[in-house]
Structure 1
C-alpha cells in the first residue's frame, strides 16, 4: 500500500503530525535520517515524501542529518517521486543567505545583512553598522542559534574573542542591522500547501529566540517559548490578518517549490515590514491554536492526504 513518508530527525517535533495522520486514518511511515544508508541501485517505494529536516539538527547530535537528507531527496526526485519540501526547500532551510536572496528576488524587504567567515572578518563586517545596534546570527540556524544584540563593535570584539562565542556549524556568521520593534513583538505567518493559514503574534520581550514548538522549554536558552500568562500569552493567533505581504510570501514559496513554511517578520517604528526568516520545518503552538480554533498540523495532515490521493495510489 502506498504511504506518506515523513522524513525528519526529531520525533518530538513530528509526533504531533503523526497523531493527526492517525486521526485521519492515513497510512504513513517515518524515515528518521540522523544516520542510514542509501543504495543508489534501488528505487524508492511508491508514495509521497514530506521532509521535516531541520537546520538545527546538529544541536541534537545529528551532525550530518541534513547532508544525508539532501542526498535522499535528490534520489527521490531523480525517480520522479512526489516530494513535499524537497531539495530546494532544504537548501533554504540551512542557509539564511539563500533565504534573503530569494525573498529579495520576490520583492520582500530584508534587514541589511553581511555574511562573514573568520573572527576578524566578523569584526570587520560589523564596522559597516558603526553607530547603530546590530545583531549576529548563524547562517545555518534554527532555534535562534548565535543571535546576539550589540550596541558597539568593541562589544562584538569582546564576544568574538571571548569564551562564549558560538562557532557556526557552516562557519558563516551573519551580521545584521537590528530592527527595533516599539511593541516588542514579531509576526509569524504559517503556510500549508503554499497557501496562507494564519498569522501569530509572538512576544519578544524575553529575547530573540522564538520557537513555537511544544517540545521546547523555558530552560532552553535558544528557544524560550515561555509559559502562558493569562493577560499576555507569548503566542497569539491574529484574527483577520490580511496584509499585502502575504501575496509576496506565497510567490516566494511557489518559486522555490516550498509547500509548508513559517515566515517571520518584524515592523519598525515607522510600520515598515522586514522579513528575516523562512522556516521550512515549521512548528505550531498548541495553546495559541486551541484558543483560536485553528490547527496547523491537522491542515498539514489533510494536505498530505490530498497529495497522496492525487497520485492515485491510495487504496
Structure 2
C-alpha cells in the first residue's frame, strides 16, 4: 500500500478480527456491519464471543460505525467504546436508512447520514439488505472525512457500484443469479430478497457448502421456492460432499422437489441452466467458493449465447 501511495484503503477482515492478519492496520474508522453465528469453531459459539472477536479491530482514537446489531453484540460494542473512550455512530440512532423503494435494476434510497441527508440515490444492486449496507458505508465515509459528503458525488459513486457474487444477476433468459450466502442468516436474507424482487419464479438451485455450515438451517429458508436442486461441492478440502448436501436437501425440501447430485460446480451450473429453460430462474449459492466457480461459467455461457445470436 505504501508503494502504491494509497490515499484511502478499505481493508476487509478475512475471519473474525482479533487474530486476522488485517488487524495490524490501525484504521481511523472501524466498521461492524452486523454479527451472526458463523465460523463458530474459530470465533466462538455465541454472538457475544463472535462480537468480541470482531470488535478487536477497533483501536484507540478511532471511530466505530455499527450497523444493526443483536443485543449480545450491542452490549459488547458499548463496552468496547467505553473501554477505549472513542466516538461511535449507531445505525437507527445517529444515522439511518430513511426510505428504500424498488426500482428497475436496483433501489432508490434516501439516507439520513451523520452530517447530511441524501435523497434520490440510485443503488444498482439487488437485495434490500444492500440499502442498509449503503447507509453504513455513507456513515463510514462521513466519519473518515468528519463532514457531510457532496450529494452529487455520492449519487455518481453509488450509481457505479457493483457487488460481484452478491445476489448478482448474470443473465435474464433464464434469470441467472450467483450469490455467496453461506450461513443460516444469509439464506434468510436471500429468501426474503427473492420473494420481494422475483416473487413469481420457481428456482433451480445449484447448492454447495463448506463443512462448518448449518446445511439444514440454510436450506429450510428455500422451502416453497425451489423446483429442483443440484447438489454439488466446490473445490475445497472443507467442502461438504455432494451426496451429503443432497441428503439434507431431500429431507428438508420433501419429495416434491427434484434433487440431483452433480460432480463439480461447472457441470452443475450447465445442467441447472439447461433444466430451467428460458423462462426459469437459476441461482448458484451456499458458499463464496461456489459463487467464485459458478460466476465465470455463467458469464461464459452468456457470451456464447450472445455470439450465437449475432450469427
TM-score (norm 1): 0.28
Which structure has the larger Rg?
2
The structure in which a higher percent of residues are helix is 2
Higher relative contact order, structure no. (Cα contacts within 8 Å, ≥ 6 residues apart): 1
TM-score (norm 2): 0.28
